[in-house]
Amino acid sequence: MDRKTRIESDSLGEVKVPSEHYWGAQTQRSLENFKIGTEKMPEPLIKALAIVKLAAARVNMKQGSIDNKVGDAICAAAREVIDGKFNNEFPLVVWQTGSGTQTNMNMNEVISNRAIEILGGNLGSKSPIHPNDHVNYGQSSNDTFPTAMHIAAAEQINCLLIPSLEKLHKVLDNKVQEFKNIIKVGRTHLQDATPLTLGQEFSGYAAQIKKGIERVKSTLSGIYELAQGGTAVGTGLNTKKGFAEDFAREVAKITNLPFTSAGNKFEALAANDALVELSGTLNTVAAGLMKIANDIRLLGSGPRCGIGEIMLPENEPGSSIMPGKVNPTQCEAVTMVCTQVMGNHVAVTIGGSNGHFELNVFKPVIIYNVLQSIRLLADASLNFTEKCVIGIKANEERIKDLLNQSLMLVTILNTHIGYDNAAKIAKLAYKENITLKEAAAKLQLLTEEEFERIVKPEEMLRWLFNGFVSLSIKVHCIRTTCPPRQSPNNMISSGFIPFSNKLVTTAIPDLTLLLRINELFLLKPSPG
């Protein structure tokens, strides 16, 4: 026999396998049969599969399905795979069977051969540890692979994405405070609008990221449900009673995450809705990040001929032909990542919709794209935070100059001279390239002193503390179904209901209120 190879066998016969590797016949066949692309199974999925084998071995020993000597060797080998010692033993591409069977067998073969080696046996002998009879005992690729998909996604979300987004949120929130007193012109439809503070503008970005984190976390309950124990079609054939529940508890111990056994194994095998939902949330995060990155690079455009309201960190030269040019490269990188994540979600959506009968067979492409989206968003968010957002400075001189040129300051005159007269001032100022104050005086609608008394940008702001404000609405009770003696007078008595961004129509037991806004008051905020 060639010293560079050894003979391994499976149900189809013998196969030559490279001697230096731990994989077996089925892995080798897959290498030869699926020479498609270069996209390998992601390392987080490989680690998750090893966690499955470790947890299964522990439960199988507990239930007496495999003896402790065999089980301990399997556990030791699985631990080494989890620690990344055998990453080069998992060469298979994503483009294989849609159930991930080849990769499951790749894991079974590597753990089997390594466990045999630990016990002093010969690689490829399948003795005393068989890849199917021992490593894969009580399992099917159909429940093992989707279980590994959920474990991998959950670990990456908790270890990578959420911490990165939380750091970005913290830095954006710091910018809210840093910029809270800098009044600037607002923009809607890419046109000048009424003023706000730069801090308020950044509070919107911070809120987007915070809500993105909340959305991601909200999807984890479905990801924490594991398919293991359903075996081939969801019936649990070839498993012992309690295996699925004990398995989930073992995975929870290994990962320190709250995994549980899926309540319906038929759904867990036939569909991947939890991952489609997660991907949709990642898509939403990407949409928010793209908006933020685009805003920041537009606000930083210039240095002389753009908006130029903020100054971005200068990390590297921007042009091979234009000396001194510096580009918003971090923003551009983020937007490209977001584009990829959005494309990934399309693939995940199509894959998730193709769960025919008892098994979805688009599992490898689904998890490949989900894990890539998680990793890209995590890396991009962290990089964006550290290389761009944290170093953003306000160009206060430019901001003040643009604010003073804004025609939309005229909006505050509506309640003093009427909308039509205010519009006349704005149109004349624009037409003759004069200030609003000069236009008002020229039209004899206001004196310069009156204009200066009324038009104060700082008094046009609604949010002053952390981007929030306390509002009150004077309301009337339009209809009530409860007797007067049950009326909650302490809550409503034709008075004021404080609220913050809440719906104006509400319902409470025995009382239905339609609240009509009569007056909107801006109360003076108090710290805290």
**Using alpha carbons only, what angle is made at residue 292 by residues 394 and 388, rounded to the nearest 5 degrees?**
55
Residues of the chain with CATH 1.10.40.30: 406-460
Q: Is 189 a catalytic residue?
A: yes
pLDDT of residue 359: 98
Distance CA 291, CA 339 (A): 12
pTM of the model: 0.85
pLDDT of residue 458: 84
Distance CA 378, CA 356 (A): 33
Task: Out of 11, 189, 500, 526, pick the active-site residue.
Answer: 189
pLDDT (tens, 9 = 90+) of the chain, 528 residues, equals 468 999 999 999 999 999 999 999 999 999 999 999 999 999 999 999 999 999 999 999 999 999 999 999 999 999 999 999 999 999 999 999 999 999 999 999 999 999 999 999 999 999 999 999 999 999 999 999 999 999 999 999 999 999 999 999 999 999 999 999 999 999 999 999 999 999 999 999 999 999 999 999 999 999 999 999 999 999 999 999 999 999 999 999 999 999 999 999 999 999 999 999 999 999 999 999 999 999 999 999 999 999 999 999 988 787 777 767 888 999 999 999 999 999 999 999 999 999 899 999 999 999 999 999 999 999 999 999 999 999 999 999 999 999 989 998 999 999 999 999 999 999 999 999 999 999 999 999 999 999 999 998 888 886 444 434 333 333 333 333 344 444 433 433 333 334 333 333 333 333 333 233 233 333 334 343
CATH of domain 5-137: 1.10.275.10
pLDDT of residue 225: 99
* Burial of 304 per CB tally in 10 Å (0-12, 13-18, 19+): exposed
Comparing C-alpha atoms, which of 370, 367, 388, 159 is closest to residue 285?
Answer: 370
C-beta of residue 169 within 8 angstroms of C-beta of residue 175 = no
CA-CA-CA-CA dihedral for 508, 514, 517, 523, to nearest 10: 0
Distance CA 4, CA 282 (A): 45
Q: For residue 97, what are its two tokens? A: 């069977």
Looking at domain 146-395, its CATH superfamily turns out to be Fumarase/aspartase (Central domain) (1.20.200.10)
CA-CA-CA-CA dihedral for 74, 76, 78, 82, to nearest 10: 170
Distance CA 181, CA 14 (A): 75
Q: Is 319 a catalytic residue?
A: yes
Q: For residue 36, what are its two tokens? A: 């498609």
CATH of domain 406-460: 1.10.40.30
Task: Out of 127, 218, 221, 319, pick the active-site residue.
Answer: 319
Distance CA 315, CA 328 (A): 9
pLDDT of residue 462: 60
Residues of the chain with CATH 1.20.200.10: 146-395
Residues of the chain with CATH 1.10.275.10: 5-137
pLDDT of residue 461: 80
pLDDT of residue 448: 92
